[in-house]
Amino acid sequence: MAAERIDGKAFAEKLRERVGAQAAEFEAVAGRKAGLAVVLVGEDPASQVYVRSKHKATLAAHMESFEHRLPADTSQADLLALVEKLNTDNAVDGILVQLPLPDHVDEQAVIAAISPDKDVDGFHVTNAGRLAVGQSGFVPCTPLGCMMLLTDRLGDLSGMEAVVIGRSNIVGKPMAQLLLDANATVTIAHSRTRDLPGVVRRADIVVAAVGRAEIVKGDWLKPNATVIDVGINRLAPVEGEAKGRLVGDVDFAGAEGVAAAITPVPGGVGPMTIAVLLRNTLVAAYRNAGMDPPENSL
Ligand code: NDP
């Protein structure tokens, strides 16, 4: 039987609607809209697309969007000065500096300058630490979105074997932490892992965040595994195509016959990221206004 397709697009739309309704309630009690500031340095085409979609999604969710587009030669000092200004601006609840930054800017220094209470991307070392020790903070949007899809489908993850492939600070590590917090037995695999197929075969839950097209094959999977494919890879165009196809890190056709459920690419994890960013911004707004976020803001 073919695996169920986990419809991240539909889930994300519902989450955005819910956040939008709660953002309207926030405005009614706080007397101002929740606000997200997005900083883009330079003209990287992919970053421009992301920033534009974040702007539109923020406005659609009944929040204020502050866009700061700076030239590629902006100095690190000027960028840090802008971040400092946003840190103290009461209309701004969340700050997102679009990565990658130009080579002359130290990304870590910029992330470190963002107030942890406005760090809605969850990249600040304080928020990584909070996640590690189980305190509430901000969790990076992509892994949190994956976690929402998993718990929506599987409910209680206690005791399940989970394998996360990839150990980046923005996906793999926080994903593993979230799964551990949910009482899964977690293995983190990476480029030095021996016998990756053997490791993956143990897993009830596979999260692939590698960035290598279709590296995970169907016959690596345990029958009835749940597969979350974070990878976004563009194949080289074949004849007749202007652009190559987008594929994930999992060989979808091969996996479909073995897994119980799998996220497609596109339309799986991708749409969750912006929806969770809006959710994090709303939570930041409540906290910054000295109020508890609504219980069901997940
Ligand atoms: P990174 O390049 O930072 O990390 C990739 C990880 O994969 C590393 O830990 C690396 O291991 C591991 N890896 C590389 N090759 C292999 C291999 N052959 N076998 C096993 N592990 C391997 O990527 P990100 O975490 O930033 O992103 C991963 C993917 O997710 C990308 O395709 C990216 O586009 C996508 N992505 C999608 C998002 C979304 O849907 N919104 C958001 C963020 C990312 P090592 O540490 O040993 O080098």
Read off the DSSP letter of residue 245. Answer: P
pLDDT at 294: 86
Task: Tell me which residue has its CA closest to atom 4 in ligand 1.
Answer: 168
CB 156 within 8 A of CB 150: no
Question: Is the minimum distance from the CB of 175 to ligand 1 under 6 angstroms?
Answer: no
The answer to whether residue 98 is catalytic is: yes
DSSP β-ladder status, 246-247 and 233-234: antiparallel
| Residue 269 CA, closest ligand 1 atom number | 40
Q: In whole angstroms, what is the distance from residue 248 CA to residue 232 CA?
A: 5
pLDDT at 1: 78
Q: Let me know if the fold of 31-116 is the same as that of 141-271.
A: yes
Active-site entry in 33, 54, 118, 173: 54
Read off the DSSP letter of residue 118. Answer: G
Q: In whole angstroms, what is the distance from residue 48 CA to residue 52 CA?
A: 6
Angle at 118 between CA 61 and CA 232, to 5 degrees: 65
Distance of CA 136 from the midpoint of ligand 1 (Å): 26
Q: Decide which of 3.40.50.10860, 2.40.10.10, 3.40.630.30, 3.40.50.300 is the CATH code for 31-116.
A: 3.40.50.10860
pLDDT at 103: 97
The answer to whether residue 156 is catalytic is: no
Third-level CATH fold of 141-271: Rossmann fold (3.40.50)
0.95 exceeded by pTM = yes
Q: In whole angstroms, what is the distance from residue 7 CA to residue 267 CA?
A: 7
Q: In whole angstroms, what is the distance from residue 118 CA to residue 224 CA?
A: 40
Q: In whole angstroms, what is the distance from residue 30 CA to residue 69 CA?
A: 28
Query: Domain residues of the chain, as ranges?
Result: 31-116, 141-271
Among 192, 210, 220, 276, name the best residue to mutate to test ligand 1's pocket (greatest count of ligand atoms within 8 A of Cβ): 210
Active-site entry in 93, 117, 121, 204: 121
Taking 70 as the pLDDT cut, the residues of the chain under it are: 296-298
